[in-house]
Amino acid sequence: ASRLGILGGGQLGRMFAHAAQAMGYQVAVLEPEAACPAAQVAEHHVQLAYDDEQGLALLSRLAPRVTTEFENVPADSLKLLATGGFVAPAAACVSIAQDRLAEKHFFTRCGLHTGVYPAPHWGIASEEDLNSVKDDLLPGILKTTRMGYDGKGQVRVRNREELHTAYALMQGHCVLEKMLPLAYEVSVLVARGVDGEAVVYPIAENVHRDGILFTTLAPSPNVSPEVARQAQKAALDIIAELGYVGVLCIEFFVLTDGSIVVNEMAPRPHNSGHYTMDACDTSQFEQQVRALAQLPLGSVRQHSAAAMLNILGDVWFDGERQREPAWDKILAIPGAHLHLYGKAEARRARKMGHVTFVASSMELARANLRSACVILGIAAPESA
Ligand code: ATP
Ligand code: MG
Ligand code: MG
């Protein structure tokens, strides 16, 4: 069988491997950690660093087509792999998504034809930049330009004094964003093939808890048809402008006045797209396989309403004791699809799995998600 390669061995790599294997591919993973979720299921595990030249050469020899599941993979590694095979998404696209300021410049450029812009912002790399911050960017959020995720690497600042303190602690390159009045948050998953054919999934609505994605409802129950169309069109324009190949997820804010703002993008399948595995004709992982293998993209039709609940390590903890959650009770809920990532150790705030409830209506899917929260002993989201 022909082989597909992947940089990164986390749960996204594992679910990609499952989809690839279902379609007859073998999978090779480059990942320095031994017992990672993807290496448990892949046929080949190159256990070296993402920038190890020998590791990259080995991966290249094992798999002529390579993708990434980790957005902070060194862009140079993707470039190197592209000299010997097909790499999607390309290093240039991943580089933009790795740098918030480059990403915002790119979104601003796209805004000229999508009409959707990023939050007002200002890049800060020096004291001089810091002192030229305009008043109307405060209160704001100071974010590191690189490596931030799950709300890490960002600080909310109410005034100049807090901004100076925060910048002194963060160091390096940052971007200050104006704090916007969010009504709710949505994300749009798009995919594009080498031939330029692109597809867009239904819009998903996301609730975070402590900076980590908590639930996704799809299709978004709050979004109006016009806003959904606008976000989907912006996502299609963005993926075309990038010349991107593969699955891309773009986060948007819906503001209290009903307008939308583009926040950030992830150059890979995304946690908010996990619902596609159980609720759409083609999952985001199968779509990534199709794009990478240069096969036709699959239908993005959603056949069931879906409510996805992330399962964090916290639910293993009962005070000091650790115990396996009651999966039998979760699976007794109609339409429950449990996905566990095979992580050996449960740690608080660690993504261990997710469960998606599919149903004939969003009301039912949400009610089932709420029942699961009761079983797991976690507070249900107010909006779900
Ligand atoms: P992810 O885990 O999605 O990659 P991240 O750490 O890269 O997250 P962001 O998505 O930029 O960070 O921000 C995290 C959250 O902070 C957002 O989902 C949103 O709730 C809030 N937030 C970020 N920027 C703004 C803003 N300009 N105005 C209001 N809220 C914001
Ligand atoms: Mg991010
Ligand atoms: Mg985000």
ipTM (interface pTM): 0.98
The closest-lying atom of ligand 1 relative to the alpha carbon of residue 150 is 2
Question: Phi/psi at 225 (nearest 5 deg)?
Answer: -55, -35
pLDDT of residue 1: 56
Asked if residue 118 has its Cβ within 6 Å of ligand 1, the reply is no
User: Does position 384 have pLDDT exceeding 70, yes or no?
Assistant: no
pLDDT of residue 202: 98
Asked if residue 71 has its Cβ within 6 Å of ligand 1, the reply is no
Tell me how far apart the alpha carbons of residues 277 and 14 are, in angstroms, rounded to a whole number. 13
Rounded to the nearest angstrom, the distance between the alpha carbon of 194 and the centre of ligand 1 is 31
Question: How distant, in Å, are the alpha carbons of 79, 124, 150, 191, 251 from that of 217?
Answer: 36, 35, 19, 20, 14
Residue of 175, 253, 256 best suited for mutating to test ligand 1, as the one with most atoms within 8 Å of CB = 253
Tell me how far apart the alpha carbons of residues 110 and 78 are, in angstroms, rounded to a whole number. 25
User: Does position 203 have pLDDT exceeding 60, yes or no?
Assistant: yes
Percent of the chain with pLDDT over 70: 99
Tell me the H-state helices in 189-294.
225-242, 276-279, 284-292
The closest-lying atom of ligand 1 relative to the alpha carbon of residue 212 is 2
Pairing, β 3-7 against β 26-30: parallel
Asked if residue 151 has its Cβ within 6 Å of ligand 1, the reply is yes
Pair of tokens at residue 104: 């915002």
Pair of tokens at residue 218: 């799809």
**Alpha-carbon dihedral 237, 200, 244, 235, rounded to 10 degrees:** 30
pLDDT tens per residue, range 71-124: 889 999 999 999 999 999 999 999 999 999 999 999 999 999 999 999 999 999
pLDDT of residue 218: 98
Task: Concatenate the DSSP letters of all residues of 160-182 into one string.
Answer: HHHHHHHHHHH-SSEEEEEPP-E
pLDDT tens per residue, range 111-160: 999 999 999 999 999 999 999 999 999 999 999 999 888 888 999 999 99
Asked if residue 371 has its Cβ within 6 Å of ligand 1, the reply is no
Asked if residue 103 has its Cβ within 6 Å of ligand 1, the reply is no
8 A C-beta contact, residue 383 and residue 307? no
Work out the number of other CB atoms within 10 angstroms of the CB of residue 93. Answer: 22
Of residues 292, 248, 277, the one with CA closest to residue 20: 292
Residue of 207, 262, 264, 268 best suited for mutating to test ligand 1, as the one with most atoms within 8 Å of CB = 264
Task: Output DSSP code: residue 52.
Answer: -
Mean pLDDT of 308-313: 98
Mean pLDDT of 305-309: 98
Asked if residue 210 has its Cβ within 6 Å of ligand 1, the reply is no
Tell me the H-state helices in the chain.
11-22, 53-62, 75-84, 91-98, 100-114, 127-131, 160-170, 225-242, 276-279, 284-292, 327-331, 362-376
User: For atom 4 of ligand 1, which residue has the closest CA?
Assistant: 149
pLDDT tens per residue, range 330-383: 999 999 999 999 998 999 999 999 999 999 999 999 999 999 999 999 998 886
pLDDT tens per residue, range 211-248: 999 999 999 999 999 999 999 999 999 999 999 999 99
pLDDT tens per residue, range 16-51: 999 999 999 999 999 999 999 999 999 999 999 999
Question: How distant, in Å, are the alpha carbons of 80, 163, 251 from that of 153?
Answer: 29, 14, 18
pLDDT tens per residue, range 265-285: 999 999 999 999 999 999 999
Tell me how far apart the alpha carbons of residues 134 and 16 are, in angstroms, rounded to a whole number. 44
pLDDT of residue 383: 64
Mean pLDDT (the chain) is 96
8 A C-beta contact, residue 214 and residue 207? yes
Asked if residue 349 has its Cβ within 6 Å of ligand 1, the reply is no
The closest-lying atom of ligand 1 relative to the alpha carbon of residue 148 is 6
Tell me the H-state helices in 74-200.
75-84, 91-98, 100-114, 127-131, 160-170
Name the pLDDT band for 292 (thresholds 50, 70, 90).
very high
Question: How distant, in Å, are the alpha carbons of 175, 247, 357 from that of 274?
Answer: 29, 12, 11
148's enclosing H/E stretch is none
Asked if residue 263 has its Cβ within 6 Å of ligand 1, the reply is yes
pLDDT tens per residue, range 160-195: 999 999 999 987 899 999 999 999 999 999 999 999
pLDDT tens per residue, range 49-68: 999 999 999 999 999 999 99
